Amino acid sequence: MCNAAGDLPPPMVVFPYKRIPPKISNQAPKHWGLGRSDNGWMTGETFFEYIANVFYKWLTENNISFPVLLFVDGHSSHLTLTLSKFCSEKKIILVALYPNATHIIQPLDVAFFRPLKMSWKTVVHTWRLENNGAKISREDFAPLLQKIDRRNGK
């Protein structure tokens, strides 16, 4: 997500836990969202938690004028009644794009996610060289992701 000025709200990292261990939550930047689901995938509940507790907070802290348009993939995890009611009350207008076609119609996939993936590959490669080829653990994920986060200085 980003706004027309290119500002990025904090991300949410979703983990496959019932309860996120302190070893992980203590490693993540305090302004990031930490979600959980049975399989580590975004669900309607975790997306609502992100919008209500991270995104909306970021909007208000940055004095973003309402109403706000929020384009989302039409996936069911992004379109729940609870989220729709919350967004309506907070003047966040949800616009659902065609499900699973955002790579075609969403500029962020090209302008943001491609460079992000390239940066991630570099960070992972460097980390693995420095750690004798070890696999990245869940505890290491957020600190490594933070290395490529453009918001680090904010």
Task: Tell me which H or E stretch contains 33.
Answer: strand 33-36
Q: Could you state, in order of their start, the residue ranges of all structural domains in the chain?
A: 12-153
> Please, which pLDDT band fits residue 135 given cuts at 50, 70 and 90?
very high
Give me the helices (H) in 99-137, please: 102-105, 107-108, 114-130
Using one digit for the tens of pLDDT, what is the confidence trace for 66-93?
Answer: 999 988 877 777 789 999 999 999 999 9
pLDDT surpassing 80 at residue 145: yes
Q: What are phi and psi of 101, to 5 degrees?
A: -120, 10
pLDDT score for 116: 82
Structure token digits, residue 132: 């004798």
Question: Count of CB atoms within 10 A of residue 7's CB?
Answer: 14
Residues facing residue 71 across a β-bridge: 95
Q: Helix %, strand %, coil % for the chain, to 5?
A: 50, 15, 40
pLDDT surpassing 80 at residue 106: no
Domain boundaries 12-153, corresponding CATH code: 3.30.420
Q: Helix, strand or coil for residue 124?
A: helix
pLDDT surpassing 60 at residue 151: no
